[in-house]
Structure 1
Amino acid sequence: MKKLMKAAMLIFALCAIALPMATLAEEAVAEVTAADAKAAADNALFTVNNTWMMVATFLVFIMHLGFATVETGLTRAKNTVNILFKNTAIVAIGLLTYTIIGFNLMYPGDSWLFGKFLGFAGFGVTCPEGAAGLIDYAGGAYTYWTDFLFQGMFAATAATIVSGAVAERVKLGPFLIFCTIYVAIIYPWVGSWKWGGGWLDEMGFYDFAGSTLVHSVGGWGALAGIIVIGPRLGKYVGGKVKGIMGHSMPLLTIGVFLLWLGWFGFNGGSVLSADPGAVSFVLVTTSLAAAAGIIGSMCASWIIQKQPDLSMVLNGALAGLVGITAGADVVSVTASIIIGLICGAVAVVSVMTFDRLKLDDPVGATTVHLVCGILGTLFVGVFSADHSFVTQLIGVLAYAAVCFPAAFVIFLVLKLTVGIRVSKEEELKGLDLGEHGMEAYHGFQFFTNV
């Protein structure tokens, strides 16, 4: 009996020790499991964010093909090689200059001067944690390299806008010099005022994906260019506007739909994460604004021109896209439709107004990117209760005050030194033969004197 009692007491003692230990072990395992689960979830989110940002980057990249085909379709066949060459070179110039100086000029970090008016973090791009780029960047959402490449794809867009406006009469060499200066210095510098945390950002100015920072910056450059270079031969004769038709409406249409596709990355990627609620909402407002832009331009064209103009309607889609870009994440669905309708209708009137002012823009870049970029930026102050119209207006005027004079001076200096316009003979024959010694459509091309 005593042995049984001792055995029972021993078992009881062991249980008394083992049960708490088992409980502690279970709690420890639970803590480890929870920590592992959180780490796995964070890693999955990080991967998804990076993947979406890369997909958005690819979509923005394909927009350059859209710009090339739009510009080609709206101009004459004899200048096609020249236009395609410029659009190819611009991508390279944009990426390389952004690598050398642009990224650190646009995002200077703590290296600010003059009250966050100008900053520069140094030449080149170097991830703080080395080649892997796996750092707590943008709240841990994505890597340094992801951000650099996404932003770099935006950089060349401003110069591409200028390319279309001065098409069919600008010398290739001087134009590429302009692009290099404008994209390397002007675009990233003024971009830092908002996206780099500069003085406009502190004031509360808002531009979600670049109605002003990208599109109107390019638009101001385009306006300066067409003023300094002058109109194409035969465009304005005897005080009248003579239409110079583009040679390929199919190319124009393909280009517009490529740009619309690319805008899903342009605006959707600007959420800077793969948050499904935020991204999907931005894609909805973006698409509705484009659709409304088509309807607005179609109605305006039908009423004013007495017939529906395909080129106007396609530019109306781009006008709606540019208009919604500033506030795609902060305006309502209804507001996005209104913005698109207004921008589409205004685009028709604007194109005609520029022609009456004898400002020759073959592709309507000043209308789509400058006029609608300004409207879109101001509409943020109208349709979003959290943003001030006055602050938005100050931002628009600030960009105008720097970008237009800077572009004008660059073009003027080039005009007075190396010259920026091709000869009359070269313009009549076409820049393909004059600048490149080749044809886009060998054996099928017809030349005219207009």
Structure 2
Amino acid sequence: MTQIETTTTPQAAPAPTHMRAPVPVQTRSERFTSTEVSDFPAVTGREPMWKYTPVARIQELTTGELDGSPYVYDVTAAKGVSTLWVGREDSRIGRAGQPEDRASANAWTAFEQALLVSISADLSGDRREVTLTRSTLGGAPRAAHTVVEVAEGATATLILQNTGAAHLTENVEFLLGKDADLTVVSLQEWDDDALHVAAHFAELAEGARIKHVAITLGGGVVRLNPSAHLAGARSDAELLGAYFADATQHLEQQVYVYHDGPETRSRVTYKGALQGEGARTVWIGDVLIGPKAVGTDTYEQNRNLVLTDGARADSVPNLEIETGDIVGAGHASATGRFDDEQLFYLQSRGIPEEEARRLVVRGFLAEIVQQIGSPALQERLQAKIEAELEATSVTASAPSAGAEH
């Protein structure tokens, strides 16, 4: 994909005091947060955090009344893993983060009980895999809250599988103890008209590691915003995402990584494909390196393939650094069609052009899927992506745009 360099233009002289507009929030960590929906103004779509979102389509989740009662879910059995509904007064609720927007606050205000997933340490050291499935939420506006507590030294893979109908806004918290290691896969395979707005908050203690994988293949509007607070020294966060948008689908991710403790590391990689009239994807990546986060090592990137005319991808990487003592920091973004050299290579070996294009897309998204670590799930997701590709003809190459820093 073509890379372009960005330049900084000189700043104009400041306006007289009586002409200045209110000073905007200068850093991501200074954003207003509250667990009360009434503390947030109505969403208009002009706000920075909402300007890419089709707010009219999700209005019932930002302003309407929500059903916050417990729901039916299925969970696979695993040693040392338990689930339990807990009251709002539970001390673990709110430890990982608090709402930054009205949809998240509406869910927080409305939920009656939180689903607690407890993962205890296993002396054998084996990685346990647990799947929590929600498939019967229905089409009524609903709120939910989930807390995942991972004990010190515990190791596990948690798959959050979402299918069927849903009009859902929710908050999910991940609390990782010292040296805990959690892989969480959030899988969105909703019905075509489903609405899903979610905020994921992760709090990492010393030496803890999280791999957060967001796979979005279904839903009418899906907005999933994961954040990771690397509070403990030498904590590590890997945030991965793959998404495939069809006609009229809006798939959005706003990622936030806050390096707070020393010698922390993060890697963010999101890749998406779009096809069909009105297909839209949004990726915003915010990385903040705080003043105490000496020795930070971080890199974020987003790649998008636009497969047909009428689709649009927005990609906005942001990096804030408040200490000069770091190992490295950078970001990259690119959106385009195909790599002509890859296509030529495949066609020169007798592969028809249309099949060659499918192979390129399949390999493009496979980089994310193959890092999940669950062979059965990876195989199923690859088949799902293959079905998406079979549904349309992949178009010829066109100019691409991107930036690297």
**TM-score under structure 1 length normalisation:** 0.27
**TM-score under structure 2 length normalisation:** 0.29
- Structure (1/2) with the larger helix percentage: 1
